[in-house]
Amino acid sequence: MDMIQVDGLSKRYGGKYVVDQLHFEVPQGEVFGLLGPNGAGKTTTLRMLATLIRPTAGTARVGGVDIRQRPLEVRRNLGIVNGGMGLYERMTGEEILRFFARFYGIEGPEFKRRLAWVDDLLEMGDLLKKQVREMSSGMQQKLIIARAVLHEPPVLLLDEATAGLDVFARRALLDFVAHYRTMGHTIIYSTHVMAEAEEVCDRVGFLHQGKLLFIGRIEEALQRYNTPNLERAFIRAVRGAA
Ligand SMILES: Nc1ncnc2c1ncn2[C@@H]1O[C@H](COP(=O)(O)OP(=O)(O)OP(=O)(O)O)[C@@H](O)[C@H]1O
């Protein structure tokens, strides 16, 4: 079953389409990489899927639910990690998670159960007791991810989620992605770091100036562009399209 179906999704700012007629599907249990350089339109695409901004044209379904028609239902079924999500400096990790859990109606013993689950999943350790202002950026990112998955959404959208992380935090995140997938969940993993995509993604889409130039399995990309390296494949796809 396709957990995500994207159908002509487009966004225009000013006179320019920054996301232009995207069509793709992501089956349940897949990690789909949305790959492209800065400004390619990755964030805009993920924010439309998360119903944070409205498409100019086209639509998408998440878990069979249309993002335009039933945005609240879509939001319950997904988690998103993307830049600029403020954390309250003086709250502890646990307080922040409790605060957000309430949005999903998760309270009392259910909250405790979920907290133990994310603690185990992400190895939160003492960051649950620390205030945000005492946390490293890697710890803060872990907390942001914990917040996004606390309600165990069947769809997780990760937007440049390893940006700014040190080697340990990055490794923990990539391992988490693989683990979350084995739980049967679906992930869109946006990045400009092709080596990360090679490691965690089942299929990838090459996004350039708002358009998808290629969609397929990593081996297919390497074969089509005749290179053993995904980064070169991306560059060849862009040159071929120019
Ligand atoms: N609110 C906005 N108003 C006008 N233009 C915007 C707005 N948001 C994004 N854009 C433009 O849309 C294009 C795509 O931006 P987007 O953030 O989606 O790219 P991206 O692939 O996520 O890159 P990055 O990794 O740099 O965020 C860029 O040219 C950006 O300047």
Look up the CATH number of the domain holding residue 50: 3.40.50.300
105 vs 209, higher pLDDT = 209
| Share above pLDDT 90 across residues of the chain, in percent, rounded to a whole number | 79
Would you give the distance in Å from CA 104 to the centre of its chain? Answer: 19
Please give the number of the atom of ligand 1 that sits closest to the Cα of 53. Answer: 1
Query: Closest Cα partner for 210 from 39, 95, 84, 66?
Result: 39
Supply the range of the domain harboring residue 106. 86-152
Pocket test for ligand 1, best of 9, 17, 19, 43 (most atoms within 8 A of CB): 43
**Same domain as 107, residue 26:** no
**Same domain as 169, residue 55:** yes
Query: Phi, psi (5° rounding) for residue 51?
Result: 60, 25
> Whose C-alpha lies nearest to ligand 1, atom 8?
44
What local confidence, expressed as pLDDT, does residue 85 receive?
62
**Same domain as 56, residue 92:** no
Angle between the 108-122 and 137-149 helix axes, to the nearest 10 degrees?
130
Q: Compute, in angstroms, the gap from residue 205 CA to the centroid of ligand 1.
A: 17
**137 has pLDDT over 70:** yes
What local confidence, expressed as pLDDT, does residue 71 receive?
96
**Same domain as 124, residue 19:** no
Question: Is the minimum distance from the CB of 40 to ligand 1 under 6 angstroms?
Answer: yes
**Same domain as 142, residue 158:** no
Round to whole Å and give the CA distance between 210 and 197. Answer: 19
Whether 76 maps to a domain, the answer reads no
Whether 206 maps to a domain, the answer reads yes
Pocket test for ligand 1, best of 42, 160, 196, 206 (most atoms within 8 A of CB): 42
Q: Compute, in angstroms, the gap from residue 20 CA to the centroid of ligand 1.
A: 13
Query: 123, 152, 181 — which closes off a domain?
Result: 152
Check if the interface score ipTM surpasses 0.90: yes
> Whose C-alpha lies nearest to ligand 1, atom 26?
38
- Residue-wise pLDDT for 155-170, tens only, equals 999 999 988 788 888 8
**151 has pLDDT over 80:** yes
Contact 218, 62 (CB under 8 A): no
Q: Which residues make beta-bridge pairs with 41?
A: none
**Same domain as 171, residue 147:** no
Whether 75 maps to a domain, the answer reads no
Question: Is the minimum distance from the CB of 20 to ligand 1 under 6 angstroms?
Answer: no
Mean pLDDT of 26-46: 96
Whether 74 maps to a domain, the answer reads no
What local confidence, expressed as pLDDT, does residue 125 receive?
83
Query: 152, 176, 195 — which closes off a domain?
Result: 152
Query: 152, 170, 194 — which closes off a domain?
Result: 152
- Residue-wise pLDDT for 47-95, tens only, equals 999 999 999 999 999 999 999 999 999 999 999 998 756 778 889 999 9
**Same domain as 16, residue 49:** yes
**Same domain as 162, residue 51:** yes
Mean pLDDT of 189-201: 95
- Joined together, the tokens standing for residue 108 give 């009392």
Question: Is the minimum distance from the CB of 4 to ligand 1 under 6 angstroms?
Answer: no
H-type helices in 19-126, by residue range? Answer: 42-49, 71-76, 93-101, 108-122
Mean pLDDT of 114-140: 89
**188 has pLDDT over 70:** yes
**Same domain as 236, residue 158:** yes
- Joined together, the tokens standing for residue 140 give 């803060």
> Which distant-in-sequence residues (6+ apart) come within 8 Å of 171 by Cβ?
none
**Same domain as 164, residue 52:** yes
Question: Is the minimum distance from the CB of 41 to ligand 1 under 6 angstroms?
Answer: yes
**Same domain as 197, residue 143:** no
How many Cα atoms sit within 13 Å of 90 on the Cβ side? 0
Round to whole Å and give the CA distance between 230 and 154. Answer: 28
